Amino acid sequence: MQTHLEENMMVKFLQKFDASPFLIKYQGNCYKVGEGEPTFTVNFKKELDIKELLKSTSLALGEAYMRRDFEIEGDLYEALDHFLCQMDKFSTDQSLLKKLLFPSHSKRTQKKEVCSHYDIGNDFYQLWLDKTMSYSCGYFKDNDNSLYQAQINKIDYILQKLYLKENMTLLDIGCGWGFLLIEAAKKYHIKGTGITLSTEQYEKCKERIIQEGLENDITIELLDYRDLKYLNKTFDRIVSVGMLEHVGREQYHHFISCVNEVLKPQGLFLLHYISAKKEYPGDAWIKKYIFPGGVIPSLREIIKECSEFNFDILDIENLRLHYHKTLLCWDKNFRAQLPVIRTMFDEEFIRMWDLYLCSCAAAFHNGVVDLLQILLTKGVNNHLPMTRWY
């Protein structure tokens, strides 16, 4: 009787996600949700705890999927696209998830959080990223661009926006595996500095710089952005791609302050980051398993902080659908490499990572999040071309 009651509660909870039709299967019972022909089936092997669903829908469903408590019969991305277009129906009890949703953003904690994701292993990332090792949104100038071409396009686009000239100094905050700095040095003959908290990225960066013969043009530091002043350098241009999401809401002011401190007057700053329409603490499953401590800023809070330091906005561009396509490319590559990945990680990790890539693609597709590029100058700069297409 109790089991039947819990099943009914679980089904009733999921029936509210009725934007498009799907089936729920459990112990021989089948329930249809929505009108029309079902496009996928959620086949439960075990019941979900209704209390956990109410505490955090994403965490309960995510962990259950990782444990194989249910399977998606059909396309995983399509199922997630269905659920994430109804994010307003998800439950999150912030009071019960306070420690997870609102962690410390001390230097020590942030380094640990960043390394937990980016130090999984360069060998792993090389399997499903393209050969540029770019782990951020590509730019598909043409629909048939390969992932590699889209990443080349993205780097070229950013460097063009930065209006680089020979012998300028460029700082990359959160430089990843270093491809942007390498391209900037090769194409524009600048002097580059990159910082990262990831030991794996740091080592790979140095290796790539040596391979390209750019040791005299690029330096890489294992450094927190809060310690930029200790470099005793100022820069003509600063870029940060996919790093702001790790800073934390209470640190945005400090982050922009640190940028301001090392950017020359009239210098350009390009900020490329995942953005949300409103301020919220983040998704519980993503924060527990993928990006500990990660927070997605809203545009308005970043603009507010930039205005405090007299940054002048030149351009804001939304590349949301480019990230949707990038993530689908990554997931396709990831699945193609499963025989190799299974020799490196267990099935729970594999299901987790597949879920991560597909759910993020669905989030961008449904406008749950955006990908913004903001171009700013430190103070007014009247010496730049008047159009974006310079």
Distance CA 223, CA 232 (A): 13
Identify the DSSP state of 213: T
What is the DSSP secondary-structure string of 240-274?
EES-GGGT-GGGHHHHHHHHHHHEEEEEEEEEEEE
Partner residues linked to 191 by β-bridges: 169
User: How is residue 194 written in tokens?
Assistant: 């990159």
Type and span of the H or E element at 83: helix 76-84
Distance (Å) of CA 363 to CA 77, 210, 276, 370: 10, 38, 11, 9
Q: Which contacts of 21-28 are long-range, i.e. CB under 8 A and separated by 24 or more positions?
A: 22/79, 22/82
Partner residues linked to 42 by β-bridges: 24, 72
Told to judge if 115 belongs to the known catalytic residues of this protein, a careful annotator would answer: no
- Active-site hit among 175, 258, 358, 360: 360
> Which residues are marked as active site?
360
